Structure 1
């Protein structure tokens, strides 16, 4: 059910459907997932939003460029990456073959297992972007590959206690990675990618601070370009080049995601939600929402409550 927030503060964006090529997980009720990269390869993607899940990406085959925050890494040998929910990340695939696994698990999943939470907090893998990428030697790669294979099979088999088993495997993977502790230095990031990163960082900061008493502060291409000290046309060209979409599309998609979050996680009126995300009146907000989703805000909210 939607939650009532007495203090007008927005919760973490959670499970809102993806409307753009940038990656956001679909709305589903899950705690942990494990994927084989040979079956579900990592395609090019950009994830500029807050997420409600952690990710471990284990690469045994394939070549790509991984960016976390302002750090870029060229990946061409066995590597494991630990991605915190708050990090802005991107992956550019440079090869046709992939090997390894990746695992996604929710924040609420961690809270269920104190020992897992302790491990994650104790070691820097998820909490220090400079130590989130680890190059692996042959022996460590084999050990982690075997752990992931068992983890993947456990997830497929399911059962009453499979989530308990999976969290134990995550702990073992973290410990084995710390034994390797080979943290490569990031490669130099070009100026264009730096602008891209700063745009999404600013967009996320603006969206994260939205509430009824503090509505969206900036929401146009010109305003974002001014904050970033670049020309609007140049910013548009960079976003189009690297993401296939212009600045306005990214802003609109982010505002839409936040409005969905407000609809399902608060009991605010449509007038309050519209005002918070930058609309002067409720009819304009409703028109914007229906144009981009095909349903009215009230219909979206009711559908969510039915599913809940």
Structure 2
């Protein structure tokens, strides 16, 4: 599959992107096209790590019940231990970097339409913040909560394997019940405290700076092909470049330019690995008209030249 950017994958095209062998598929439910669930241990050996960066048209979550994994969401890297859910919003750039050999758990994805039959999307995100594009994606539960939510995930799997169209309403009810249990767990755990993404350095809490940084990250993932300067994103967010840089520095310890370069690098790696575009053509797509400048940028970030990276397996 040739692409000209980080690809946006549907459930039908996801398998060819993440599995080692073309055409390899996990169990499918031919009667339902807006929901899927499988066991991590059933597909672990078929996955090629790290998976190439991609977006999905569906929301997904992974529940790790044993072992651990590392998932990258946009510019953030999350270590996911046992008894932990990690959520991914639709159209967010992600890749799975690693899973332990002893991993056990569940992968589930669903189309937002499955839940919005009786709900508005904004209401769902308000009630369940881990579904937001800018939300904290990790939900770690204690043993008591785990004992309550695991049977719900198992029921989703059992119903999915029945492969019948009338399961849709049960998927919706089980998911909403699961998310309500997780929401209650988060409220008890926070005890009124603010929950921050793990990549925010200690002592750097500034809600305004954090909000601007999150909006900047979202804009980067969506518009990196059209905008490659900090000034353009500052204009989009209606703030000065200096203020944007100060906010990003306060929230992440990195400059606004550093974050832009990081997301640019994600896109460039996909083009090098999955297209036949020349290095000069790739550089030109991102506003770098001198190939030598592009090569120096890439080597500084990765330790390899673009050609060396392209030749890697």
Q: TM-score, normalised by structure 2?
A: 0.56
The question of 1:60 aligning with 2:122 is answered no
Q: 1:106 to 1:94 in 2, by over 3 A?
A: closer
Q: 1:16 to 1:156 in 2, by over 3 A?
A: closer
1:75 and 1:145 map into 2 onto residues whose CA distance is 17
Q: Which residue of 2 aligns with 1:271?
A: none
Match of residue 100, structure 2, among 76, 89, 95: 95
The question of 1:44 aligning with 2:106 is answered no
Quote the RMSD (CA, aligned, Å): 4.3
1:114 and 1:240 map into 2 onto residues whose CA distance is 51
State how many pairs are aligned.
219
Alpha carbons 1:49, 1:88 under 8 Å: kept: yes
Q: Which residue of 2 aligns with 1:34?
A: 37
1:141 and 1:180 map into 2 onto residues whose CA distance is 10
Query: What's the secondary structure of 1:161's corresponding residue?
Result: helix
Q: Which residue of 2 aligns with 1:281?
A: none
Query: What's the secondary structure of 1:102's corresponding residue?
Result: strand
Match of residue 147, structure 1, among 152, 159, 175: 152
Match of residue 130, structure 2, among 101, 125, 136: 125
The question of 1:175 aligning with 2:187 is answered no
Alpha carbons 2:70, 2:97 under 8 Å: kept: yes
Q: 1:87 to 1:46 in 2, by over 3 A?
A: farther
Alpha carbons 2:54, 2:95 under 8 Å: kept: no
Q: 1:18 to 1:154 in 2, by over 3 A?
A: closer
Cα offset for 1:46?
3.8
Match of residue 198, structure 2, among 166, 178, 186: 186
Task: Give deviations 1:227-260, integer Å, cap 9, x for gaps.
Answer: 9xx942255556797xx995799xxxxxxxxxxx
2:162 and 2:129 map into 1 onto residues whose CA distance is 31
Task: Give deviations 1:196-228, integer Å, cap 9, x for gaps.
Answer: 433346899xxxxxxxxxxxxx9523543739x
Cα offset for 1:77?
3.3
Match of residue 221, structure 1, among 283, 306, 310: 283
Q: Which residue of 1 aligns with 2:82?
A: 77
Query: What's the secondary structure of 2:130's corresponding residue?
Result: coil
Task: Give deviations 1:164-194, integer Å, cap 9, x for gaps.
Answer: 1011111111111112225564247998x95
Structure 1: gaps spanning 5 or more residues: 1-11, 205-217, 250-308
Q: 1:190 to 1:199 in 2, by over 3 A?
A: farther
Q: TM-score, normalised by structure 1?
A: 0.56
Q: Which residue of 2 aligns with 1:304?
A: none
Task: Give deviations 1:55-114, integer Å, cap 9, x for gaps.
Answer: 011111122222212222222332101111121112222521112212111244344x22
Q: 1:190 to 1:94 in 2, by over 3 A?
A: farther
Alpha carbons 2:70, 2:77 under 8 Å: kept: yes
Match of residue 198, structure 1, among 251, 264, 270: 264
Counterparts of 1:213-252 in structure 2, within 5 Å, are 220-224=282-286, 226=288, 231-234=293-296, 236=298, 246=309
